[in-house]
């Protein structure tokens, strides 16, 4: 354990008045932050609060517009990641900086200086793996690995350079609860050995588990530096968001009835080179309920979404039934005409065309049922629809009918979800409804989905955010390597049980031995 004596000497890293301006946007506004040796320091904030910008500045990926960085009291300029590494800073990126087609050893070697040969990397990799319990096979190609294993590569890559500060950007967003716990153990151990850690997250629970000091960012500014264990989660959340976050009303009574969606023994080969096959999926969504699909990224969620929406067709019409009608071989618009609606994960480029106006973007899904007549677009009708989406879903737009790419992530997400909800679908399938949006928008979206269900639609939410699913879902299943677990009422699930399903060790034996 660390001694709780006040540190003597200057902090390891000190940021003073760091600002970064992108055009009109101040992503970082005069940020002060100091990290003591051996400390695990949390950097908390909403999506878009400026956390990633700040750490990229610290790691030399982007240049600050103003401000000073001090290392052990000496001012330094960090012009590139190479310089950052030379100064003893290591970083584990949120979206990993890995190369899919290269092997584990090559991925590590490429980030090290030239005097590391592949064979030394292999040797050291084995050593570090044993010391920290980070098992890795040096010759596997990265694309064959799970997210947890990929993260290990990033961590090992940093550790090989004996860093004094390790920066982790949202490290648990792609991990199962068990993998996350494993990571925390490693971090505790590193900190005990004297390595400082800057831990970036928006998840309060893990910050309270790991850190004694937290700096909270909101809209590019530091709003507080505090001990996260001394305040309640609610207080910290209020600091992050700027106002108290309301809870979602899900208490309306519901008696789901009628099978709006039935998926029977749906199997599909992988679409691409590194895709995931779907194996014998069975799923029922009834009118009036929200069905959640949990899972770690890349376990077949996008394939399942493509199969349900009709982006990829099934072999047999009977494998998917919408409102009782076999529709497995129907195209997207045909399914829309049966009363279904779909919101894919990627909002820009998949759900919306970036350079088209919002009114043109309504056509993407509405053209199946309205706003067009005998092949011609009814532009006025489209504009009306766009306007009413903007009004009902609180979409903040810079001008009347802007291009989709001009909207912030949260606002665009509200728009693409609103676009489907406003059609009053009998069935809606949403992939990652609140990925990367701020808390306010996330709350509005979740509430809208729950309300839609309570009005008698079937809602299917595919999400990697377990908290979100526990909040909105009535029944839930876990997808693992293209297989779906049985659908159970949300009250029967615990996070541990979900974690086991995510690892694929829950079937039958119910054993914990695999962890």
Partner 1 sequence: MTTFEAILLTIVTASTPLLIAALGELVTERSGVLNLGVEGMMVMGAACSFAAAVTFDSTLLGVAAGMLAGALMAALFALLVLGFAANQTGSGLALTILGLGLSGLIGAPFVGARRDPVAPVDIPVLSDIPVIGRLLFEQDLFVYASIVLTILVGLYLMRTRSGLTLRSIGENHTSANALGLPVWRVRFWAILFGGACAGLAGAYLALVYTRFWSPGMTAGRGWIALALVVFAAWRPGWVLIGAYIFGAATVLQLHAQAAQFGVPSQVLSAVPYLATILALLLLSIRHGRAIGAPGSLGTPFVPDR
Residues lying near partner 1 in the complex (CB under 8 A) = 60-63, 80-85, 93, 96-102, 106, 109-111, 114, 271-273, 275
Smallest distance from partner 1 to CB 82, Å = 4
As a whole number of angstroms, the distance between CA 304 and CA 484 comes to 10
**Pick 20 or 419: Cβ nearer partner 1:** 20
Q: State which residue, 109 or 473, has the beta carbon closest to partner 1.
A: 109
What residues have CB less than 8 Å from 51, skipping those under 6 apart? 43, 44, 45, 169, 200, 217
Q: Which is nearer to partner 1, 24 or 251 (CB)?
A: 24
Please, what is the Cα angle at 134 between 133 and 139, to 5 degrees? 135
**Integer Cα distance of 240 and 444 in angstroms:** 17
**Cβ closer to partner 1: 10 or 275?**
275
Q: What is each CA distance from 25 to 61, 92, 209, 236, in whole angstroms?
A: 19, 26, 33, 25
| Residue 239 beta carbon to partner 1: minimum distance, rounded to whole angstroms | 28
How far apart are alpha carbons 131 and 129 in whole angstroms? 6
Exposure of 366 in the CB half-sphere (CA atoms within 13 A):
30
Nearer to partner 1, 258 or 269 (CB): 269
Instruction: Compare residues 135 and 273 and give the one whose CB is closer to partner 1.
Output: 273
Closer residue to partner 1 in complex, CB, 3/273: 273
Q: Give whole-number Cα distances, 1 to 38, 64, 196, 447, 479, in Å.
A: 11, 36, 14, 44, 39
Helix axes 495-503 and 177-192, enclosed angle (nearest 10): 100
Question: Minimum distance between the CB of residue 64 and partner 1, rounded to whole angstroms?
Answer: 10
Which CB, 272 or 510, lies closer to partner 1? Answer: 272
Closest CA to 403 of 349, 455, 359, 452: 359
Residue 285, both tokens: 């969504």
CB 416, min distance to partner 1, A: 24
At closest approach, how far in Å is the CB of 69 from partner 1? Answer: 16
* Neighbour tally for 36: CB within 10 Å: 18
Q: How far is the CB of 106 from partner 1 (least distance, A)?
A: 6
Closest approach, Cβ 116 to partner 1, in A, equals: 8
Q: Which residue has the tokens 């080179």?
A: 273
Contact 307, 346 (CB under 8 A): no
Rounded to a whole number of angstroms, the minimum distance from the CB of residue 198 to partner 1 is 16
Query: How far apart, in whole angstroms, are the C-alpha atoms of residue 151 and residue 95?
Result: 10
Least distance to partner 1 from the beta carbon of 449, Å? Answer: 32
For residues 99 and 315, which CB has a smaller minimum distance to partner 1 in the complex? 99
Q: What share of the chain is helix, strand, coil (3-state, %, to 5)?
A: 35, 25, 40
């Amino acid at each position: 354990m660390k001694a709780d004596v006040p540190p003597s000497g200057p902090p390891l890293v000190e940021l003073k008045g760091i600002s970064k301006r992108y055009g009109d946007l101040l992503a970082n506004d005069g940020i002060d932050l100091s990290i003591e040796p051996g400390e695990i320091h949390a950097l908390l904030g909403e999506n878009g609060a400026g956390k990633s910008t700040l750490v990229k500045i610290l790691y030399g990926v982007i240049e600050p517009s103003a401000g000073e960085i001090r290392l052990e009291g000496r001012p330094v300029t960090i012009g590139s990641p190479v310089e950052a590494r030379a100064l003893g800073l290591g970083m584990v990126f949120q979206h990993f900086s890995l190369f899919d087609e290269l092997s584990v050893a090559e991925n590590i070697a490429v980030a090290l200086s030239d005097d590391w040969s592949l064979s030394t990397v292999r040797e050291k990799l084995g050593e570090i793996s044993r010391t920290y319990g980070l098992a890795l096979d040096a010759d596997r190609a990265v694309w064959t690995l799970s997210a947890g294993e990929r993260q290990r590569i990033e961590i090992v890559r940093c550790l090989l350079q004996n860093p004094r500060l390790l920066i982790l950007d949202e490290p648990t967003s792609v991990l199962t609860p068990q993998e996350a716990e494993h990571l925390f153990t490693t971090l505790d151990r590193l900190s005990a050995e004297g390595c400082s850690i800057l831990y970036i997250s928006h998840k309060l629970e893990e910050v309270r588990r790991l850190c004694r000091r937290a700096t909270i960012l909101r809209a590019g500014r530091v709003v507080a530096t505090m001990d996260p264990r001394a305040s309640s989660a609610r207080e910290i959340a209020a600091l992050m968001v700027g106002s108290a976050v309301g809870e979602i009303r899900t208490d309306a009574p519901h008696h789901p009835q009628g099978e709006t969606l039935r998926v029977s023994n749906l199997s599909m080969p992988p679409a691409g080179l590194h895709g995931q096959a779907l194996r014998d999926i069975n799923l029922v969504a009834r009118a009036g309920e929200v069905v959640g699909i949990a899972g770690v990224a890349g376990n077949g969620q996008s394939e399942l979404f493509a199969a349900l929406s009709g982006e990829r067709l099934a072999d047999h019409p009977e494998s998917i039934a919408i409102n009782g009608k076999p529709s497995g071989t129907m195209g997207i618009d045909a399914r829309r005409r049966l009363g279904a609606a779909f919101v894919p994960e990627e909002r820009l480029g998949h759900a919306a065309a970036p350079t088209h106006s919002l009114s043109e973007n309504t056509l993407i899904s509405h053209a199946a049922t309205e706003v067009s007549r005998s092949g011609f677009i009814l532009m006025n009708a489209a504009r009306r629809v766009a306007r009413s989406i903007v009004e009902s879903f609180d979409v903040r737009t810079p001008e009347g009918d802007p291009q989709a790419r001009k909207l912030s992530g949260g606002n665009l997400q509200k728009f693409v979800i609103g676009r489907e909800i406003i059609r009053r679908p009998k069935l809606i399938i949403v992939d990652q409804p609140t990925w990367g949006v701020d808390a306010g928008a996330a709350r509005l979206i979740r509430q809208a989905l729950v309300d839609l269900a309570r009005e008698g639609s079937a809602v299917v939410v595919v999400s990697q955010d377990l908290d979100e699913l526990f909040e909105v879902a009535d029944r839930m299943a876990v997808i693992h390597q293209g297989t779906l677990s049985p659908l159970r009422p949300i009250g029967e699930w615990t996070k541990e049980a979900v974690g086991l399903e995510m690892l694929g060790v829950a079937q039958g034996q119910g054993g914990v031995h695999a962890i």
